[in-house]
Structures are given as C-alpha cells and as structure tokens.
Structure 1
C-alpha cells in the first residue's frame, strides 16, 4: 500500500513539474540548430532538427555527406550563422509555422560568401515527442543551389613573374617555344618513329601512345614534345622527317642560357617531395615550380596566386552556370636583380668553358653585377624534361656543368695577400716601407719545423723586399714572416673582422669562408701557410670580391646584394683599413699589373689593378699537381666593378697569368 501511494505521488510531482516549465520555443530550437550549423555538425542537424517533409526528400547521405564534402572541397571555414531575434513578447502558435530571417557568412577557397534566407520551423510530433522542426533545402548551402544541381570549382592559373637584370633585360620570362608533333596521315613510315624518338629523347612507345589517343584523326596535329626556340638545328632535323612539323607554344624562356643558368635556375614539374611540402598552398601534381637558382629561391613571389571560382551547374543542357564566389588570379611579381646580364654573358664567354667561377661587385654599393659558374647548362633542356641518358652524361662530364661553383669555397692563394697586409698594417706590425732581406727559394723559421718550408716562386726579387715588392713578386716568404710577426691571435682576429667564419649576408646560401676547419691556427707552419691563402683556408668567390672593396672604399665592405629592390650600400664591415693604408695598397695593386706577373692584364687603355693567385691542390697532405688560378681586378681610375675570377686546373696553361688574361677581356669589352 505504501509503495503504490509513493508511485502515484511521483507521477503527480512530474506532471506538476512539467506544468511549471516553459515550453520550448522555435527560437530556442533555432538557437541550438545554429550552434550545430556553425560547428559543421551535420549529423546532429539531420537527426534532431529536420522536419518530416525534409527527411522524406533528403536522406542522410544527401544531407550530411554532401555538406561535409562541399566544406572539404571548397575549404569552407569560419561559418557564422546569425538570425534576427523576435520581440521578447512574441507568442508562438504551434498551429502556425515560425519564420526567422537567417544570415549566413563563410569563407571559401574562392573568397567570402554571404546570403540571407528565411527559415521556417514547424511544430510536429516525432516518436511521440512534440517539438519545433525546420524545413530545409539545398539553398541553405548556397542560395541558388538546387537539389539536383552540381557544385564545381574552376581554377585559373596566374602568369609566372619574370626575372630581369638591372637594366630590364630578361633573364627568365614567359615567352614562346615550339611544340614538335606529327600528322598521322603523313607520318606512315615506321622507321620515322625511331628516328623522331631518338631526336627528341623519347621512345617509340610514347609516340605510338600519342597517336592512338581517342581524339586523333588522320589530319590532326598530334603533339609529341616541346622544344626551346633556340634549338634551331633540332627543329630543322625534325621537319626533315615526313609528317613531322611544329607550332609555336607558350614556354618559359631563358635568353642568356648557359651564361646565367646556375643563377636563373629553371622551372620543372613539381616533385613528390615539393608537393608534400606545399600541398596546403594550392599546388597540384601538374604544376610547374622553381627547381634551381632564383626560380626556386623566389618561387613564392614569382608564382602568383591562382584564381578560383565556385560555381553551380544545373542539370539542364542549356542552363548557364551560376557563380557562387570568385577570386581572380593574381600574376606573380616581376623581380629585378642587380645582375648586369650583358656583363655576365661577357664574363661567361671570357672563361671559354673552363671549369671555374667568377663574381663582379660594385665596390661602392655591394651590388652583385655578375655571378658566374662555368661551364653552365641549358635551362630549357632541364625545364622540358631531360632524359636519363642526357642527365647521366652531364653528371659524368669531368667539368661538372651541373655544379654551381659560386656557392662553394676554394683556397684563395695569393689573392689573400692584400688582406694579410691590411691586417698587419692596421695592427702596426707591418711597415710597408721596411724591407726584409730574403734569400733563396725556401725558408723556415727554425729547425723544429722539420721538413716544412715556405717556398716562393720568384727568388730573383731584389732585396730588400718591402710590401710593394712582396705584392709585385707575390713573395710567400715575406707574408709568412709578416704573419709570424703579428702572431696567430692578431691574424685570426683580423680575418674574422673581414668576415671569415661567418655566413655571407646574401639572399641565397653561399658556403662561408673559413680560416681553417676549426677557425684556429694551431701551429706556426699553419699560420705561415694561411698568410698566403693556403693551409686549410677556403674562400667563397663573392666574399673574395667583396673583401677587395676595402682598398677602394678606405676600409668599408658592403653586404653583397642581388635583388635590385633591396637597399644598396648596406655596410657589412667597417674600419678595416685606414685611408692612408688603402692608398698604399691601391698603388701596389696597380704595380702588380704594371710591373709584376699579371702582365696579361696590363691593358694599354684600361689601368687595371689587382692580384693573381695560384693554389696547389692537396690530397691527404700531398700536392697532386693540380692548380687553381685566381685573379681579382678593378679599373684603378674608374672602379665601377671588382671582378674576381677562378679557373680550375691551370697548371698546364700558364697558371694565374692565364686567368688574368681571361679577366682582362671582360674589362676590354665593358670599359
């Protein structure tokens, strides 16, 4: 009896409690629904809020899966749904629909989308539960989207930006090339397939696949391969084959070809690794991307931004597409370099295909005017897809045309001696007027040096040897003795002040110059060797050219710049040399050309000043007979640029004098 009474009281309590609660309003339901909408919780929206009529039309897949796919495909985010609140005293009649004005905002891959719709809520009974439920259709996804309409996306590619030199001459531009193809009805000789495949570096099987495409008709032009415009010999050979012709096609052009190849780089089809790194930036497997050089370094600026259009396509054949959102393509930037392309071309040609590098810098601004690695390669060949056999041929070429030598470091040899002199003069240990008595070809400080001796090339130099004679005759013994006088600490500190051991402040990576592998000089012999650019010393060619600025600027070395828009004349190092000492060294550098062993650069109309250097290459501590030759020079009366040039393996063609001769032709043509 007690339990029965308790149960009755409980039911009465629930009835009483429910009677005291306010009924759920359509606005309450809308507020809950909007929260799910903003969060993209489509399954909850479907199961708990859609009215019967909507569920009869739209199954779960049509509602949930479709919206999830649209949000994913079009990168929809930041959905913000709001509604106009009704008056506080609004009375809701469950027998009448409740209507609300709803505002929808969202961001898409094609830009923002905003629209306003009227949403209707109906009071219904679902599974014995009465509540307000919403009438829904596809126009709440996009306002003009019908139930059977397709939603698509169209991407328009931007034009890639160009790379220009300081004078506006093109280094890399969107130009024209040729597309070689065949006309099937005229291309009937089987032997022609083999001949064309060999000429274009492709296969007979590929040509046959192209010819067997479904769209091909006998008189059609069937593309086989793209060829750069300058490949005139190849094009002439191609059209000699019956049925083969070519037509103009858009193509990236590199007008200066090999001369600027390592600097310009090239574009190519994006690699899997590059795609993985850039998949969130809109790249696809078919995109072209910078693969080397400035094309790679400046990719983000050159590429531009793709245009995107989200559209609705009704099913009717004649129906026009409806644009939901559209973002226009933004072409890539055109970027100017400080490089003088014609000077670069002259320098490259002057190097005669020899393995080496060179750099020219404006001594008063730090602007790079040339940056050459020789030999180069054809950027167009790499861009169009080089064959495996051809790439192997380039890799196995002993001159290594794929190596960007200006990024590397090399022992500078005697081109370092002016810096050694500058350090000693500033430290007060080297008196340029004081002569030393040096006899014989070799010298060692003491017997404890064992077999190590400093050797000089010109023991005919008349004593006493002062700084001017030491530079003119490139006397290793003189500079070794000066380095010993100043001591390791002073010399290392001086070299560090010149930028050794730190990264060159440049837009792209250049291997830093080093004093030694650990930055120290562990013995007197190593100190002596380093004083004339041997030992473990290595120098980058850009850094070497920049160091010679101090003789023109009275001690200032500028940051080397490559982008014309960058601030020029940024000081990298200052106070390296007094005006008085700079003048002394300028005179001696001129005398090196007039009286010394750079006679090949003693031009009658251009008063060049500079310093040669020859370095002996060593393997496991032994000289292997190979020599690299250097020459760093400038016009002593009008120093518009400093040119540093290095040629590998000069042991059989005159050493550094050969390099001086090559470099002098650059000044002759650009006086």
Structure 2
C-alpha cells in the first residue's frame, strides 16, 4: 500500500516538475522582445520575415508584396543606419515605443503604439513610417555640397569648379542619320555610339542629347573646323571639375569621375548619388572626405500631387574644405618643361621643413581628359604606351648609383671606419681578393690623393667599394635601418618602399662592396633619397616630407652627428665648386650649392654592354635664407651625357626659383 502511494506521489511530483520546466523553458516572448525582434529584422532589411510577424487577421494588413515594396521604397531612399528602438510604456497588450535612426537628412525620431497578441503584431501604417498613408509618399531631396578647391602654396588653383562644353544633338533639327559619320569624326567617337545615345526612349524632337564633353580649347577648335555648320548640333555650357595646369600636376592632383554602381555600394551610407563625383587618384582621392564635404538632405512626406505635407528631417549641406598644398606651381611647371622628352621623376623640397615644393613625373597624362570622358581609343593608347604616362615615377624605386656615396661616407664617419684624410691609393679597378674571380669594381675617376673629399668630388667607385667592406655589413645595415630604408615613407601619397637588400639575396662581400657606391641590391625612392640628403644641411636631422600644408615634424632626429653632416656638406659643395667636379656645370658665383651626381648601370652582368643607365642629380642650397633641394632621376641617359644631362636640365629650374 505504501509502495503504491509512493508511486502516485512520485508521479505527481514528476508532473509538477515537468510543468515547471515547461514553464521556464517554453515561456513565450515578452512584448518587448517581439518589438525588438521586429526592428532587428528592419536593420537587416528582412521585410519578408517582418511581414510574417504580423497578425494576418488584422483588418488593415496589406499584402506581403505591398508591404515589402513600401519598405524598400522608403528605406532604400532614406538610407537608415544606427536604428535604435526603446519600449517606453506597456499597458496590457498595447506597447508604446520610440524609434530613432540616422538618415541622409539627419536623425529621425518618432513614437508609435502597437498592439501585440500571441506574439503577433497588429499592423498599423506607422509601422512603415511616421504619418504614412496609402496616398502619401516619402521623398528625399538631396543637396550636393560644393567640392573644395586644391591650391598651391601661393593660392593658385590646381583644381576648381569651372566650365566645360557639351556637344550634343537635337533630333528634330537633324537630317536624319545622314550626318552621324561626320559628327562622329569631329567628336572622335563612332556612329554606333551616337546611334545608341539617340535611341533612348526619353528623347523628343526638341531634346538636347549630349554626345561628348570637351574643354574650352577643344570647343574653340571644333567651332573653327565647322562643326556647327551641321544642322542639329548644339553646345551647352556645363559646370565640372577642371584642372588649370592639366598634365603639369596630374600625377599629384589626380582626378574625379562620376560614381559607378560599385562606388554606390561601397559608400552606400555616405550620401553619394548617381550624379555625384568621387576622387579617383592623387590628392583628389586621398582627401576625398575633406574635399567633398557633407551632403545635405530633406526627408518629406508628399501627397499624391507631390505637395509637401510634412518635413520629417532636414540637414544642411556642408561645403568641402579647400586643400592647400606646399607645391610651388612655378617650380613644378619649370621642372615639367625641362623633362618633357624624358622618363623622369623630380622632387623639390624645403630641407628645413620637409615641405615638397615640386613633385613631377614624366611623361604625364591629362587629368582633364578623365573628367571629360576618355574614348576607348584614347584609354587604350594611354595603357599601351611604352613610356607609361599613367605611372607616377616619383612613387617607384630605382638603383641610386653614385648618389649613395655621401650616405656611405656619412656612415663611415659615424662608425669611425673612414678617415677622411687618409689616402687609400688611387685604383682604376679593384677586387677584394682572387675569390672574386673575374669580377672587379671599376671607376672612371681615380683621383689622387685618394681621400674622402676627392672621392666624393670626382665620384670614385673603388674608394667607396673598399670602404663599404671596412664599414662592414652590420654597420651599413644598422644605419640603413636608422634612415628608414625599407620602411613605409610617411607621406600623403603612397610611395614604394626603398630597399637595401633583397631578402632572397645572399649577402656576400661583393654585394656589400657594390652597395657602397649605390649598386648591388639597393633601390631608392626619389623622395626618400632627397629627404636623406636634407640631413647634410640640417645638422643630421630629417624633417618629415609632406605635400599638404601643416605642421613641420621631425622624421628622423640626429641620424648623423653635426660634425659628420658638416664634413659631407663641404665635400658636396666641392662637387659643384671644383672645376672638374661632376656637378660643376650648375655652379653659381653668388650662392654656395652642394650636390651629387649619380649614374646607375642597369645591366645583366659586368660584361653586358646592352644595358641602360639612370642619371641622378641632387643639388641643394646651403644658405638658410633660400632653402631648396632638388633631386631628379632620368631614365635612359646612356649616350646622352649620363648624369651630366640631368645637371644641365636642373639649372634652369634652380635659377628660376632662386631669382624669385
């Protein structure tokens, strides 16, 4: 009997426990949880699942298709983010909540009440949007800001808003398609492209159909050639981004273009529209956010006649900020003019501040062409050009040749492995020992006495090869690291990293010897090389190079001692002052200049006679009242005077700057 009673009691307890467990683990969602879940789905734009949470018996519930379409219509336009929902009151099944969100027109916030029963939401139209009704629509009116200008250090415009000209056709005034071939020839397009544009469904007989945008210069040329004699051809003036110095600054400034579908996807919450432009390269791309400003917008509810019923949110547009560069456009233009027939890179900077005064890559391209719209033929021609006009040569790295010799000398002085007064004995060719086989270091200039000053002045390869071995790998590599060779160069525009050794290369005595005079595995970026040279007139410190006006910062402090810097500077002055110095062609009676030439051999082996040569020249003032340093690299100078070619072409630009 007791046993039976215990079984009954145990069964009752089990039932109670199961009931408690069921209650704990299967208790329905709270109304607050339902509201939260619903709006979490809104964040994910899962409109279909949102509809599934509605009470299907609600008399005002629209169809699922209508529900999804309306949500897309509204939320794709206002582009919400940071959606926040808070339940502020709950009475029986009636829940009051507050919703807020950031939109293209600023923050939107409103309250709504909904009824929830059995975890289902009874629909009302404010669930779609505040004050929404079937006859009303939500509309966004955007206001694009003015894009900031880009100016040089003296306030001259390098990028601004200006006028261009759109040549187009008016269908009702044309002689059919009879003139398409002639129009296509004038505008450097093809008949098929014109036919495609003229077949658009929106075109009426009096519609202006734009075919090609051109600059004022091209417009004038086309008019002189007689394009307006063709009936139906018209010109409209349009406003667009223009670059007054065109090819002279293209690699620095870059260009803007109309946004594409990929841009809209990437920047979906930033207010870009199909009519926006975006920076594609150079300063235009790097400073896109500052230049562009902030888009303004207004979210309104309009009736079926497009009358505004209510303004939900409004945000004023903020115009973009101007960017003032450190560039001196006159110096930039002068260096551009000097090297129009070359593949070259030129850097000019103020060594006392790190301000970049000129940054030139040759050959160049027209950034105005990119804004106006490139034809396929023109684009292909640019890409297939063996001279690579689209490549920014100042970004690249190159074998520095003899321009590394002062750096080797400075490292030797710092480590006390070079005695500047010691005569090593002049040698036209030299090798460490017979283990080098047939390999010798050779030089065109073996001065006597063979001391540091003469070795720099006359650019003796053998002297620096021998001293590189004396300095040793550890000391050389330590100072290369101190000079940040191989590290990212802190600069507003991306630059390739210099290197002193290829990581896959075995470090041999021969390689170290070659590094001493700028061959081996060393590759230098022109801007970094120019910055290192500035240490010789800054008592051993290097200022951070920058192209946008701002605070002057020390990049590398006291990399060389004051005494070492002074010794190298005096030797570099002699390179130009000595009548037989490699840079004497640029000598000035009125101002002391310091400089160094360099010719880098690009060849497969020591016996290769088919290789090419790079010509380098760095020149700098030593008078603090007129601080200037110019470094130029020119490709293919073999049989054109070597580095002497660069010295000759630097003179005009230097004289122009010093005369200001």
TM-score by length of structure 1 reads 0.83
Instruction: Name the CA distance, whole Å, in 2 between partners of 1:603 and 1:242.
Output: 58
Q: Of 206, 229, 238, which aligns to 1:242?
A: 229
| Pairing 1:581–2:564 present | yes
Q: Of 90, 100, 107, which aligns to 1:106?
A: 100
Instruction: Name the CA distance, whole Å, in 2 between partners of 1:454 and 1:291.
Output: 46
CA contact (8 A) 2:279 2:288 kept: yes
CA contact (8 A) 2:184 2:194 kept: yes
Q: Of 72, 78, 85, which aligns to 2:83?
A: 78
Which piece of structure 1 moves more, 627-636 or 61-70?
A: 61-70
Q: 1:417 to 1:178 in 2, by over 3 A?
A: same
Residues 80-479 of structure 1 aligned to structure 2 (within 5 Å): 80=85, 82=87, 102=96, 104-109=98-103, 110-115=105-110, 137-139=124-126, 141-184=128-171, 187-188=174-175, 192-213=179-200, 221-231=208-218, 234-237=221-224, 239-243=226-230, 244-270=233-259, 274-284=263-273, 287-315=276-304, 317=305, 319-320=307-308, 322-439=310-427, 441-459=428-446, 461=447, 463-479=448-464
Instruction: Name the CA distance, whole Å, in 1 between partners of 2:33 and 2:601.
Output: 81
SS of 1:198's equivalent in the other structure is helix
Q: Of 539, 544, 550, which aligns to 2:529?
A: 544
**Offset, 1:497:** 1.9
Q: 1:312 to 1:528 in 2, by over 3 A?
A: same
Q: Of 603, 618, 636, which aligns to 2:622?
A: 636
Q: 1:23 — aligned with what? A: none
| C-alpha RMSD over aligned residues | 3.3
Matched length? 615
1:602-625 superposed Cα distances (whole Å, 9 cap, x missing partner)? 234443220010111113674533
Residue segments in structure 2 that go unaligned for 5+ positions in a row = 1-28, 43-48
Instruction: Name the CA distance, whole Å, in 2 between partners of 1:323 and 1:522.
Output: 72
Instruction: Name the CA distance, whole Å, in 1 between partners of 2:220 and 2:573.
Output: 47
Residue segments in structure 1 that go unaligned for 5+ positions in a row = 1-27, 87-91, 93-97, 123-129
CA contact (8 A) 1:101 1:116 kept: no
Which piece of structure 1 moves more, 264-273 or 207-216?
A: 207-216
Q: 2:545 — aligned with what? A: 560
Instruction: Name the CA distance, whole Å, in 2 between partners of 1:223 and 1:345.
Output: 34
CA contact (8 A) 1:410 1:540 kept: yes
**Offset, 1:481:** 1.6
SS of 1:208's equivalent in the other structure is helix
**Offset, 1:220:** 5.4
**Offset, 1:552:** 0.3
1:605-649 superposed Cα distances (whole Å, 9 cap, x missing partner)? 443220010111113674533111010001232451211001111
Instruction: Name the CA distance, whole Å, in 2 between partners of 1:35 and 1:402.
Output: 53
SS of 2:444's equivalent in the other structure is coil
CA contact (8 A) 2:604 2:611 kept: no
SS of 2:267's equivalent in the other structure is helix
Instruction: Name the CA distance, whole Å, in 2 between partners of 1:522 and 1:101.
Output: 76
CA contact (8 A) 2:31 2:95 kept: no
Q: 2:55 — aligned with what? A: 47
Residues 2-81 of structure 1 aligned to structure 2 (within 5 Å): 42-43=50-51, 46-47=54-55, 50=58, 52=59, 54=60, 58=62, 66-67=70-71, 70-71=74-75, 73-76=77-80, 78-80=83-85
Instruction: Name the CA distance, whole Å, in 2 between partners of 1:627 and 1:131.
Output: 83
Instruction: Name the CA distance, whole Å, in 2 between partners of 1:148 and 1:235.
Output: 52
**Offset, 1:81:** 5.4
Residues 518-529 of structure 1 aligned to structure 2 (within 5 Å): 518=503, 522-529=507-514
SS of 1:326's equivalent in the other structure is strand
**Offset, 1:139:** 5.0
1:125-147 superposed Cα distances (whole Å, 9 cap, x missing partner)? xxxxx999999753564444333
**Offset, 1:535:** 1.5
**Offset, 1:537:** 1.1
1:15-58 superposed Cα distances (whole Å, 9 cap, x missing partner)? xxxxxxxxxxxxx99878756765568546641784x5x45xx5
Instruction: Name the CA distance, whole Å, in 1 between partners of 2:477 and 2:188.
Output: 54
* TM superposition outliers: structure 1 runs of 4+ over 6 Å: 28-33, 130-136
Q: 1:465 to 1:208 in 2, by over 3 A?
A: same
CA contact (8 A) 1:505 1:559 kept: yes
Q: 1:151 to 1:464 in 2, by over 3 A?
A: same
**Offset, 1:338:** 2.2
Instruction: Name the CA distance, whole Å, in 2 between partners of 1:133 and 1:526.
Output: 78
Instruction: Name the CA distance, whole Å, in 2 between partners of 1:292 and 1:373.
Output: 14
Instruction: Name the CA distance, whole Å, in 2 between partners of 1:190 and 1:63.
Output: 47
Instruction: Name the CA distance, whole Å, in 1 between partners of 2:282 and 2:541.
Output: 29
SS of 2:611's equivalent in the other structure is strand
TM-score by length of structure 2 reads 0.84
Which piece of structure 1 moves more, 336-345 or 63-72?
A: 63-72
**Offset, 1:191:** 6.4
1:475-508 superposed Cα distances (whole Å, 9 cap, x missing partner)? 1111112112222222222222222222212223
**Offset, 1:62:** 5.1
Instruction: Name the CA distance, whole Å, in 2 between partners of 1:466 and 1:519.
Output: 35
Which piece of structure 1 moves more, 221-230 or 355-364?
A: 221-230
1:53-94 superposed Cα distances (whole Å, 9 cap, x missing partner)? x45xx55655676457644553456353545677xxxxx9xx
Q: Which has the larger radius of gyration?
A: 1
Which piece of structure 1 moves more, 343-352 or 257-266?
A: 343-352
Instruction: Name the CA distance, whole Å, in 2 between partners of 1:74 and 1:189.
Output: 44
Q: 1:5 — aligned with what? A: none
Q: 1:592 — aligned with what? A: 575
CA contact (8 A) 2:54 2:120 kept: no
1:519-546 superposed Cα distances (whole Å, 9 cap, x missing partner)? 9772222122111111121100000100
**Offset, 1:547:** 0.6
